[in-house]
Structure 1
Amino acid sequence: MSIEFSRWPNNYMMSYQVTKALGMASLGATDVTEIYEACKKIDPDDKDTWHREWLITAQALERHGKEAETAGNWYTARNCYIRACNYYRIAEYVVMDDDTEKIRIFKKVNELFEAAGKYFDVQPEKIHVDFEDVKLDGYFFSPSWIKGPKPTLFALNGGDEWSIENYFWLGPAFISCGYNFLVYDQPGTGLSLYEKGKGRRADSEAFHSRAIDFLLTRPEVDPDKIIVHGESFAAYDSLRFASFDHRIAAVISDGGTHAFDWDAMLKWMPPSLAAHGMRILGAKSLEDFAGNPRFAYDLEGVLHQIECPLLVMHGAEEILVQPNPLTQALKNYEQAGSKNKTFYPIEDRRLGGLEHCQVDNINVLHEVALNWLCSIGLGPASPRLSDCQDIIK
């Protein structure tokens, strides 16, 4: 592994979660010292210590944020709330069978994100996407310094990814480049799963197309410039979605699977994680997967329908896509019907980005995605004058 956190070599998934947290430090969404201080007190064989230590850190930052806000120090308040959001999210990772605690943490993170969002340059607007009998919660951002309809990045959530986590990975970078930005709790993620009972399904266009419907009601959105980004589980979703909804102008698939071998994957996972995975999918046992189209996560015979430009990204040290991650990524690229398509392997160990979805250096993802969007005529708007002045200073 390139810079894989290796304090716990026998616990890959916990180490991976810490690698993700460290990767967010350059974005201002976590802090290296806070992460290592929590890890010193965690026993990887005792999930309760993981839950406890991240909560202690999150609660301390929440307290500091409130004290700063009371004093009129919005800058520190915002930054404390942001980091608290992410430590609460990390604490939730080991909560597998307590929906009450999961929902409590989800709501706490939403509360803190909205408290921080009051001090963002582009504030989050709470929105709802209509799907079946429920309204799925999300956030929409639109940079006010760009007049008229704008390109939009619609970011799909990975398997256990939160909308707010997805915002921190991608939102500030793309918003500062003049894009609208949309995230929402799609089925299988966040409160859509644990409070509203909506699990994932293979035909991801069934719910993601409803989000496109929402975007097309907004005057800020250029209907011909909707870009879809999907990472991890959502890399599958993005390709399936683009195969069936041709309102998408461009699609980015990062760290994706071509066909899910549920039997192999769930047996590879630790039992608690496998049970969590089946919960996300809405299954009770492996037998539920047999012959059920809801779980037919297979892009074979589908991708030829993609018409828009496509970018497939693949980190050279990908391990979470199994089996044969490179083969699966290449199949997605080769079978796509796009006339304009790019396969981008990430291999530079000095700069990182080789891990699953570039969690070890998210700046690499930003670079590759934005460079590619420039190449197809959907690149960033001119920078704000204030941004240029900040660089000069």
Structure 2
Amino acid sequence: MDFGAWPPVRGHLASARRSASIFLDSLPSDDGRTGTARQNWVATWAKTGDAYSGLADLNINKRAFDEATEAWLCALTAFEVARRLVADDDADSAGVSAKVEAGVQRFGLALGHQVENVQITCCDEGEFQAYYLPAGCPGLSAPAVICVSSEEEKGATLLGRLLPVVIGRGMSVLVVSHADVHNRSHGRPAVLLSLCFDYLSARPEVDSSRIGVYGDGLSAALVTDYAMYDRRVAAAVCDGGILNWVRTSTSVGWMTGIADGAATDVISACRARSARQFNCPILVVAGGRGVVSVSEAVKLQADCMAACIHLDLAMPQIIRGGFGEEVENFVTSDDCVFRWLENKLTRATAPRWML
């Protein structure tokens, strides 16, 4: 692919996301010019997002709202690519993130898609903000997903990334930030997430028997604890307890001096026993910038298989860019996660013997 040029924007979401995925999969290796190339790629994708935003405005003026919606979703995808490429200490980092957040706000305000700023009441800490997007299925009771951002991201940033994925899937989403869940919970994030579940359950358009939860980055560990705590959860994308097990096994081995082989057997038994505490299907996403390593996830899946426990495992495509950092193909990863959630939440109402 020619990284120095970009075709005219057309506002076709499937095409825009396919182009983004191909670009991410094709990042070249280090050739001594990656610093300049990286800046060029960030600028190109940011300008592409701006062009899609302009196309959305033109379609709004023509009252072609469906086309405007698709153009906005293309813009959010382009901005997310730029955000993934820009260095954290780069002066452009804040500007790219601001484009994502502004895109989320304009998407709702201009097109009437009900991206609502809602308040979740937390008894000890007052209220905290979340973003809610209804499924858009009038008269139907649809599934919903609680989405918790990574420790590095605001809720609006995660929503901007997920909007192109969830629109049209017939599910509502409630997006909350890791900071709110972690900092306001006094060490009990499961209790706070249960309040989010209660909020969704009270919405007339949500089927309370088909509510799932998804944790990005370090939030995957928070979601694990919550899925074990709240038996109402219908599906969970989490770390399967891996982060806690790694910490525990390291501490036990250091304090007791147990031989590696014996410790491995003990940890395997603990993994299988913990997995039985889930009352719902779980998906573990391994690799990349997340908290779950591929090796630990494979061990967990093997232990679960030996114990006749079903666990799904996803490993996103990770590209090691020439600038020495891993870049995840978020397009294929997010599509995989939400296809899985859509499948599990659609089947959640079936009798258990049919699952």
Q: Quick check: TM above 0.5?
A: yes
The answer to whether the aligner puts 1:52 opposite 2:24 as a matched pair is no
Alignment deviations for residues 214-261 of structure 1 (CA, whole Å, 9 cap, x no partner): 223323333333222334433323212212333423323379853497
The structure 2 residue matched to 1:240, chosen from 212, 225, 229, is: 225
Query: Partner letter of residue 34 of structure 2?
Result: P
CA distance in 2, matches of 1:207, 1:28: 39
- The CA deviation at 1:79 is 2.5
The match for 2:158 is 163
- The CA deviation at 1:101 is 6.2
8 A Cα contact 2:104 2:160, kept in partner: no
The answer to whether the aligner puts 1:64 opposite 2:33 as a matched pair is no
CA distance in 2, matches of 1:323, 1:221: 31
- Sort the Cα spacing of 1:212 and 1:113 in 2 relative to 1 into closer, same or farther, 3 A: same
Counting aligned pairs with the same residue, the percent is 15
- The CA deviation at 1:211 is 1.8
The match for 1:290 is none
8 A Cα contact 1:180 1:221, kept in partner: yes
Alignment deviations for residues 84-134 of structure 1 (CA, whole Å, 9 cap, x no partner): 2233333334252479963x5545434323433468796433323345355
CA distance in 1, matches of 2:271, 2:279: 18
Provide the alpha-carbon RMSD of the alignment: 4.9
CA distance in 2, matches of 1:313, 1:169: 22
**Secondary structure at 2:35 match in 1:** coil
Query: Partner letter of residue 58 of structure 2?
Result: E
8 A Cα contact 1:125 1:140, kept in partner: yes
Higher relative CO (CA 8 A, sep ≥ 6), structure 1 or 2?
A: 2
- Sort the Cα spacing of 1:158 and 1:378 in 2 relative to 1 into closer, same or farther, 3 A: farther
Give me the TM-score of the superposition, normalised by structure 2. 0.62
Alignment of 1:18-33 (within 5 A): 27=14, 30=17, 32=19
The match for 2:6 is none
Count of residues in Structure 1 that have an aligned counterpart in Structure 2: 299
CA distance in 2, matches of 1:200, 1:59: 38
CA distance in 1, matches of 2:144, 2:234: 10
The match for 1:252 is 237
CA distance in 1, matches of 2:329, 2:190: 22
- Sort the Cα spacing of 1:98 and 1:54 in 2 relative to 1 into closer, same or farther, 3 A: same
**Secondary structure at 1:252 match in 2:** strand
8 A Cα contact 2:237 2:283, kept in partner: yes
The match for 2:312 is 344
**Unaligned runs of at least 5 residues, structure 1:** 8-24, 263-298, 348-352, 380-393
CA distance in 2, matches of 1:80, 1:234: 30
Alignment deviations for residues 159-182 of structure 1 (CA, whole Å, 9 cap, x no partner): 55633245336422532xxx3332
The answer to whether the aligner puts 1:126 opposite 2:117 as a matched pair is yes
Alignment of 1:146-295 (within 5 A): 146-147=139-140, 149-160=141-152, 162-168=157-163, 170-172=165-167, 174-175=169-170, 179-184=171-176, 186-188=177-179, 204-205=189-190, 207-253=192-238, 257-259=242-244
The higher radius of gyration belongs to 2
Query: Partner letter of residue 279 of structure 2?
Result: C
- Sort the Cα spacing of 1:77 and 1:109 in 2 relative to 1 into closer, same or farther, 3 A: same
8 A Cα contact 2:49 2:76, kept in partner: yes
**Secondary structure at 2:310 match in 1:** strand
CA distance in 2, matches of 1:233, 1:257: 11
The match for 2:65 is 74
8 A Cα contact 1:122 1:142, kept in partner: no
Query: Partner letter of residue 331 of structure 1?
Result: L
The structure 1 residue matched to 2:332, chosen from 346, 360, 364, is: 360
- Sort the Cα spacing of 1:55 and 1:359 in 2 relative to 1 into closer, same or farther, 3 A: closer
The match for 2:134 is 141
The structure 1 residue matched to 2:282, chosen from 283, 307, 311, is: 311
8 A Cα contact 1:152 1:227, kept in partner: yes
- The CA deviation at 1:138 is 0.9
- Sort the Cα spacing of 1:248 and 1:225 in 2 relative to 1 into closer, same or farther, 3 A: same
- The CA deviation at 1:142 is 3.3
The match for 1:21 is none
**Secondary structure at 1:360 match in 2:** helix
- Sort the Cα spacing of 1:247 and 1:218 in 2 relative to 1 into closer, same or farther, 3 A: same
The match for 1:86 is 77
CA distance in 1, matches of 2:186, 2:14: 32
8 A Cα contact 2:21 2:331, kept in partner: no
Give me the TM-score of the superposition, normalised by structure 1. 0.57
CA distance in 2, matches of 1:113, 1:155: 16
Alignment deviations for residues 16-42 of structure 1 (CA, whole Å, 9 cap, x no partner): xxxxxxxxx9746646289859x89xx
The match for 1:267 is none
The match for 2:88 is 96
- The CA deviation at 1:354 is 5.8
CA distance in 2, matches of 1:33, 1:374: 29
CA distance in 1, matches of 2:149, 2:292: 22
The match for 1:282 is none
CA distance in 2, matches of 1:29, 1:227: 28
CA distance in 2, matches of 1:67, 1:213: 40
